Structure 1
């Protein structure tokens, strides 16, 4: 990380939050990318602002522009790898899980595999999970 950025991180983050509401989808995509890079390289910088960043990511995951939404989804995989306390995410799980499930993408052959698996089990079968 460049030393100038390191010293100006608060100003940089303030600028990102201002740009986060930009009407341009390209700008919102770049904001998402910046948050992904920050949480990957220096999660400690985002930790004080994590609630706001998570709220923003939940919003962009439902962005009408598919590229913005996809860039927002990248945040969650990087977040899971970041050395942050898991409690930071706990209160957001009831909203996050449906967002992630609705944004899952399957290739055509994946859906046919799923259909084949579902159709191979009798409807009367009961399964128990531990």
Structure 2
């Protein structure tokens, strides 16, 4: 499922670079739900998908941040101001609270919230010419 995605190479390269370079990665807890549901819908195999998602979140060293009241408040304000979807606003809020770049493949987050693609981040931080 993942390898057939047009963004697989760039996203995988980004994750591998971050792992090798000890770059901390953080996502809101709802990311696990979003990834699991999206992959399961595409693959039709929930058991394999759940194993894959667990591996992705544990083995790749992702830090999961609960969507607590402070994060939700920032998300509600930013999402309302920028016209974002609720889940997308949570990703932006976490980046704001951590003073970190918003790495995303979502075109709306790139256009409205200053997000950057994994490939663009790699070009800035490793000199690689990964495709967008």
Give the TM interval when normalised to the shorter protein.
Answer: under 0.3
Q: Which has the higher contact order (CA 8 A, sep 6+)?
A: 2
Structure 1 or 2: more strand by fraction: 2
Q: TM-score, normalised by structure 2?
A: 0.26
- Based on CA coordinates, which of the two structures has the bigger radius of gyration? 1
